[in-house]
Amino acid sequence: MQALVYQAVGKKALEERPKPEITASTDAIVKIVKTTICGTDLHILKGDLPSCLPGRILGHEGVGIVDSVGSAVTVFKPGDHVLISCVSACGTCVYCRKQMYSHCTTGGWILGNTIDGTQAEFVRIPHADMSLYSIPAGADEEALVMLSDILPTSFECGVLNGKVEPGSTVTIVGAGPIGLAALLTAQFYSPAEIIMVDLDDNRLEVAKRFGATATVNSSDGKAAEAIMKMTGKRGVDTAIEAVGIPATFELCEKIVTPGGHIANIGVHGKKVDLHLESLWDRNISITTRLVDTATIPMLFKTISSRKIDPKLLITHRFKLDKILDAYETFGNAAKTKALKVIIEA
């Protein structure tokens, strides 16, 4: 089969690889129909995640058709149409019993990280009964690809951890796909203001169309001053970090109001300063989280009922044999205006 392989820092290639085989009774082999590229894949290619070693097939999102199942799989059978969760969960360990599937002792975020992932024609899914979701007939596959990771990540790590409430003021730092997904899902809770911050005017225009009440281009280094002015020097109730670099987290520290929340979503590969000298007396909470995907069933319903439309995030489409072009497009988003790309296997 064809597969996108991480070869070394900054290097990747489309290679021929053997079709995966069932190695545990709880496994399923899934034929990929559609997948996508995540910002985390770019972090891997930059060397930010040492857990992912060269030779790994990348990718942790997608929809597909079950090809075969292990003897202990009871929920799914060959031919079933399924959504793949980016997090694999056994369902029985101490963390899974707390719905902290991201820290499953035999799973967690392993796809495209410590085991081969979904940017291929086939993928092995451990703990299939807990890590796959049935797709009803007629469902929009492209929309559901966004349910593997981006929507639950933005919702759980950003909106829920940030305790967005009716009438609150929210700033989302980063108007990339994750930040825009946070913008879509934050509106479940009717905040009074959602301020989007980014360096890219195109993405800020997209944010306005998605429901942002205000936008700030941070390229002049004065985003904190602009947001404090917008909020009458009060700051924001929730600051969501959706980039993963020191400057964006430090911006969140500057703009959060007393009693507010900083919710980190971004994948950080470098040291970030925590300015307790200015935060120690401000009654704020700072949360970190790896997505657990526990909200996939709820988000599934919101998509089915058309409360949100994650297809708005899709800007480009490619076949698997053109995945290197897809990476080039996704990695140069400022020039290509890419948000999420769909890759059809």
Average pLDDT (70-87) is 98
190 vs 137, which has greater pLDDT?
A: 190
Three-state DSSP class for 138?
coil
pLDDT at 125 over 90: yes
CA distance 264 to 262: 6
What average pLDDT does range 234-261 have in this prediction? 98
Task: Answer whether residue 332 shows pLDDT above 90.
Answer: yes
Who's near 116: CB < 8 A, 6+ residues apart? Answer: 3, 17, 20, 56, 57, 123, 124
Residues β-bridged to residue 120: 3
Alpha-carbon span 230 to 247, nearest angstrom: 20
Measured torsion, CA atoms of residues 248, 253, 205, 146, in degrees rounded to the nearest 10: 70
Tell me if 244 sits within 8 A of 168, measured CB to CB: no
The mean pLDDT value of the chain amounts to 97
pLDDT, mean of residues 236-263: 98
Q: Has residue 269 got a pLDDT over 90?
A: no
Residue 337 has pLDDT above 90, yes or no: yes
- Residue 138 banded pLDDT, cuts 50, 70, 90: confident
271-301 pLDDT, tens digit per residue, is 999 999 999 999 999 999 999 999 999 999 9
- Number of other CB atoms surrounding residue 256 within 10 Å: 22
Which residues make Cβ contacts (< 8 Å) with residue 292, sequence separation at least 6?
Answer: 87, 99, 100, 101, 102, 152, 156
pLDDT, one tens digit per residue, over 160-215 is 999 999 999 999 999 999 999 999 999 999 999 999 999 999 999 999 999 999 99
- Which pLDDT value is given to residue 37? 98
- Contact present, 84 and 124 (Cβ < 8 Å): no
Cβ–Cβ under 8 Å, residues 152 and 299: yes
pLDDT tens, position by position, 6-58 = 999 999 999 999 999 999 999 999 999 999 999 999 999 999 899 999 999 99
pLDDT > 90? residue 137: no
Strands 28-36 and 122-125: antiparallel
- Residue burial 102-131, b: 16+ Cβ < 10 Å; e: rest: bbbeebbbbbbbebbbbbbbbbbbbbbbbb
The pLDDT > 70 percentage for the chain reads 100
Percentage of the chain modeled with pLDDT above 90? 96
Residue with tokens 């409360």: 307
